[in-house]
Homo-oligomer: A and B are copies of this chain.
Amino acid sequence: MANLSLRRARTIIRKAIEHGRANDMKPLSVIVLDEGGNVQAFEREDDAAPGRFQIAHGKAYGTVMLGMAGTAQMARAEAQAYFIAAANGAYGGNLIPVPGGVLVRDAKGRVLGAVGVTGDTSDNDAAAAKAGIEAVGLVAEI
């Protein structure tokens, strides 16, 4: 039962949003991508800015396509901005290289997909994603 079913995706999103509410975060938007980088589920909380889908998607998309979570992407962008800019071009502009893009792994370390959260600070976004992922017994790489 390794894959990231819709049932699990729903729970990840709900728990990430609950984490945001419990910690007084701003309204969150949460996406779950499967291991192929394709959209499985998404929710935007009321009062979030209308364009949050694109940001959540970009955080998760780069994460799963590069196999590199948001924190690592940001470190790479700080060290070598032209690499991340070039990768972004190669992915059609669909990459947001900051925390809040989180890899989802099973207990054996296999990547099952990625979660993208946006709305609060990047670090809080990542913490909300982690809370959601751990709620379904999977491993979050921030």
Query: Could you tell me the dominant secondary structure of chain A's interface residues?
Result: mixed
Say yes or no: is A45 at the interface (Cβ < 8 Å to chain B): yes
Say yes or no: is A19 at the interface (Cβ < 8 Å to chain B): no
Are A10 and B43 neighbours in the complex by a CB distance under 8 Å? yes
Chain B residues with CB under 8 Å of A91's CB are 51, 54
Chain B residues with CB under 8 Å of A34's CB are 36, 50
**Contact segment of A79-87, A123-131, A132-140:** A79-87
Of the residues B53, B85, B90, contact of A39 by C-beta under 8 Å: B53
Closest B-chain residue to A7, C-beta based?
A: B46
Say yes or no: is A104 at the interface (Cβ < 8 Å to chain B): no
Q: With the chains together, A87 CA to B89 CA distance in Å? A: 12
What distance in Å separates the Cβ of A53 from its nearest Cβ neighbour in chain B? 4
Q: With the chains together, A50 CA to B61 CA distance in Å? A: 11
Q: With the chains together, A10 CA to B111 CA distance in Å? A: 23
Chain B residues with CB under 8 Å of A87's CB are 54-55, 58, 96
Q: Could you give 28 example pairs across A and B, Cβ below 8 Å?
A: A36-B38, A38-B44, A39-B44, A40-B43, A41-B43, A41-B44, A49-B64, A49-B68, A49-B111, A51-B65, A51-B66, A51-B91, A54-B87, A57-B90, A58-B86, A80-B98, A82-B84, A83-B98, A85-B85, A85-B88, A86-B88, A86-B95, A88-B89, A89-B94, A90-B93, A90-B96, A92-B92, A93-B93
